[in-house]
Amino acid sequence: MKIAVVGAGYVGLTWAAVLASLDHKVFLVENNQEKLAKLKRGQAPFFEPGLEPLLKKGIKSKRLCLFSSLKNLREKPALVFICVGTPSQKDGSIDLSYVFQTARELGKNLWLGQTAVVLKSTVLPGTTKKVGKIISQNKSKKANFSLAFCPEFLREGKAVEDTLHPSRIIIGSEDKKAVSLLKKLHVPFGAPILTMKIESAELTKYAANAYLALRIVFANQIADLTEKVGADVEEVIAGIGLDPRIGAGYWYPGLGYGGSCFPKDVAALASFGAKEGLKKSLFSFMHDCNQSRPEEKLAEIEEKWGSPAGKKVAVWGLACKQGTDDVRGSAALLVADKLSKKGAMVFAFDALAEENAQREYPHLYYSPDLYLVAKNADWLLVLSDDSLFAKANFKKVKELMKGRKIFDARNILPKEELKKMGFEYLGVGRS
Q: Known catalytic residues?
A: 261
- What string marks each residue from 135 to 154 as x (binds ligand NAD by CB under 6 A) or -? -----------------x-x
**With the C-alpha atoms ordered 400, 403, 405, 410, is the resulting torsion angle positive or negative?**
negative
Q: Give the whole-angstrom CA distance, residue 3 versus residue 65.
A: 10
At 385 the three-state DSSP class reads: coil
Can you tell me which of 21, 102, 163, 271 binds ligand NAD, judged by CB under 6 A?
Answer: 102
Can you tell me which of 260, 330, 356, 411 binds ligand NAD, judged by CB under 6 A?
Answer: 260
- What string marks each residue from 331 to 360 as x (binds ligand NAD by CB under 6 A) or -? ------------------------------
Q: Are 311 and 345 in contact (CB under 8 A)?
A: yes
At 68 the three-state DSSP class reads: coil
Angle at 22 between CA 170 and CA 37, to 5 degrees: 95
Which residues are registered as beta bridge partners of 193? 169
The residue among 3 and 6 lying less far from ligand NAD, judged by its C-beta, is 6
Q: Whose CA is closest to 44, among 8, 80, 90?
A: 8
The reply on whether position 48 binds ligand NAD by CB under 6 A is: no
The residue among 206 and 379 lying less far from ligand NAD, judged by its C-beta, is 206
The reply on whether position 215 binds ligand NAD by CB under 6 A is: no
Cβ atoms within 10 Å, residue 162: 17
Residue nearest to ligand NAD (CB): 9
Q: Give the whole-angstrom CA distance, residue 339 versus residue 11.
A: 33
CA atoms within 13 A on the CB side of 212: 16
The reply on whether position 121 binds ligand NAD by CB under 6 A is: yes
The reply on whether position 85 binds ligand NAD by CB under 6 A is: yes
Q: Give the whole-angstrom CA distance, residue 307 versus residue 343.
A: 9
Q: Give the whole-angstrom CA distance, residue 153 versus residue 159.
A: 9
The reply on whether position 7 binds ligand NAD by CB under 6 A is: yes
Can you tell me which of 5, 19, 39, 84 binds ligand NAD, judged by CB under 6 A?
Answer: 84
The reply on whether position 29 binds ligand NAD by CB under 6 A is: yes
Can you tell me which of 5, 11, 28, 59 binds ligand NAD, judged by CB under 6 A?
Answer: 11
Can you tell me which of 89, 101, 200, 291 binds ligand NAD, judged by CB under 6 A?
Answer: 101
Residue numbers of the site for ligand NAD (CB under 6 A)?
6-12, 29-32, 35, 83-86, 98, 101-102, 105, 121-122, 152, 154, 156, 260-261
